[in-house]
Chains A and B, each alone.
Chain A
């Protein structure tokens, strides 16, 4: 199965700053079938991005995804208070679907 490694494990930033989160796959992700989710404490994950770069319905423009092959990035511009959470990447191009271990974005 494809192993996804997210970095950094924890990212400490201030309101208004730009966050860059990385997701690296152990082998190429078919068709860039890579998604990003946001999870807040006690809540289910929320789909942000699919197909590496397509925002899900209702997701603000400050969230953007990019990448292909084995390297993918989620960028959040101008951090707002509600953005501090854990972010997971998921590949769904090769069965079984697999998730990264998560990046915790915390307020500095």
Chain B
């Protein structure tokens, strides 16, 4: 079982870019797909997308125009960038291991979009 830890700003201004990093420990980043999922306050879960260590990505079409994921194997980290954020992007953002059925999750980090 790997451990995942999200990090990044908890407050982002509207129209700016949300940037988060997930650090993987207790296992190799080169053996799995890595996923980002978000959960608006008091709401359900939304799959954002996933990335393989090689850089192959798969994004949710509803967010594809604004999302960029990347991976840094030397640091055992993968990252999420979400452009042109609005209040609707306020959510707890989770990083997780697995392409289709994430089985190890980070604790999540709340990102609030507000001026």
Contact = CB atoms under 8 A, between A and B. Distances in A.
Interface string A42-80: 011111001000001100000000000000000000000
B94 interface: yes
B105 A102 contact: no
Contacts of B58: 95
Report the contact-size class of chain A (Cβ under 8 Å from the partner).
Answer: 20 to 34
- Using C-beta atoms within 8 Å of the partner chain, give the interface range for chain B: 10 to 19
B60 interface: yes
A89 B10 CA distance: 28
Majority SS of interface residues in chain A? Answer: loop
Interface in B55-109: 58, 60-62, 94, 96, 100-103, 105-108
Nearest to B64: A96
A45 B45 contact: yes
A101 interface: yes
